[in-house]
Each structure stands twice: as C-alpha cells, then as structure tokens.
Amino acid sequence: MKTIALILLTGLLLAACALRPYQPVPDSGYAIENRYAIVQADSLLIILRPQAYTGNAQSVNNNFFTLYLRVRNLGRAPVRLARESFGIIADGDQYDYFPLELVLGSIQSNYWLTQYEDPFALPGTVQNQTLSQEKAQEQYFELLNNYFSFGDILPGGSKEGYLFYNRRVNNSRQFSVDVRGREVVFRR
C-alpha cells in the first residue's frame, strides 16, 4: 500500500513539475487550431506557435526560444513582410528575433568548444573529428534552410521557418506576439 502511495505521489510531483506547452489564448482577432494561432492580415494567412526546433541542431533549443511560422499570400500581388514583424512582449520586456548570423554562430561556437586535441588520442580519433566537423556543417546548412526568411511573398506563395528569440521568453507564463499590428497571446 505504501509503495502505491509513493508511486502516485512521485507521479503527481513529476506532473506538477512538467512544463506545459504554450497555448494561444482565444480571441476574436485570430483563430486557433492544434495549438497554432491563425491570423488573417490583409492578404496574408499567418500561422504561428512556439515550437522547439525539430532539426538535427538540437542545441539551439538550449540557447534560444523558438517560434514556428508559416505565411501564405492569398492575394494577387506580392506582399513585403518587414523584418520588424513578430516582436514578442513577455513580462513587460520586448524581444526581437535574433538575426540568422547569431544563430548560426551559436552552432559554430558549440562545434569549436567540443574540438580539442587529445594528447593521448588513439590513431582512429582523427576520423571521428572529421565526422564531427561534417555533422556541424550539416546542422549549419539545415538551420540556414529552416530559418524564416523575410522579404516579398509572391501571389499564391508561402514561406515557413523558425525565428529565434532570447530564451528568457520561455520563463514567462504568458507572452504576446505582434503579428502585423495584431496581438496574439500565448499562455501556459
């Protein structure tokens, strides 16, 4: 009986400590589906949600707060998506996304911090360092391809990718994203 109570107590403590995912707060300015906020702004259909980066470069999840976006142009003319879009307000502080160069630099820094010469290395170790360098390059180019790119969105076209923010956003219970002048609120 005591073991069952101990197991239940442990399960409750683990469940209480688990981080709940962010959910969009219902509002008349946007729709919600599968934890995505869906915003219609002018001729653009914008879906977004906080989502951990799912590629091979998993180390970015330790360094950044990530937001996944997909933007589709439903109109008949190109639409320019400004670089100032998608600012975040969390606990009264504003966070703008980090430029691609900084995010890619974090991958390169992680690689250089793990590379060192071992004076006691066995003969096959040089090959392992080469494989590690190839893996870092693969992560670099994958991240380059998955980063959200701003600029013109052609009629009928869409863009998708991740934006990376200060990881302090993740400490907030609630934050809002400015989506072309509309506030989209996410809460745990």
Q: What 3 state SS string does the chain have?
A: CHHHHHHHHHHHHHHHHCCCCCEECCECCEEEECCEEEEEECCEEEEEEECCCCCCCCCHHHHEEEEEEEEEECCCCCEEECCCCCCEEECCEEECCCCHHHHHHHHHHHHHHHCCCCCCCCCCHHHHHHHHHHHHHHHHHHHHHHECCCEEECCCCEEEEEEEEEHHHHHCCEEEEEECCEEEEEEC
Higher pLDDT, 131 or 26: 26
For 2, the token pair is 């005591």
Residue 5 maps to a domain: no
Note the pLDDT of residue 9: 58
Instruction: Of 158, 179, 153, give the one whose Cα is nearest residue 79.
Output: 153
Considering the chain, what is the average pLDDT of its residues?
A: 84
For 107, the token pair is 């991958």
Residue 9 maps to a domain: no
Residue 7 maps to a domain: no
Please count the other Cβ atoms lying within 10 Å of the Cβ belonging to residue 111: 17
Note the pLDDT of residue 104: 87
Domain of 126, CATH number, reads 2.60.40
Residue 11 maps to a domain: no
Residue 2 maps to a domain: no
Higher pLDDT, 60 or 96: 96
What's the domain count of the chain?
Answer: 1
Among 18-22, 79-83, 128-132, 181-185, the range with the most confident prediction by mean pLDDT is: 181-185
Note the pLDDT of residue 16: 47
Residue 13 maps to a domain: no
Summarised one tens digit per residue, pLDDT across range 37-93 is 999 988 999 999 999 999 888 788 889 999 999 999 999 999 999 888 899 999 999
26: β partners: none
* Structural domain boundaries enclosing 109: 18-187
Local confidence band at 18 (pLDDT 50, 70, 90 cut-offs): low
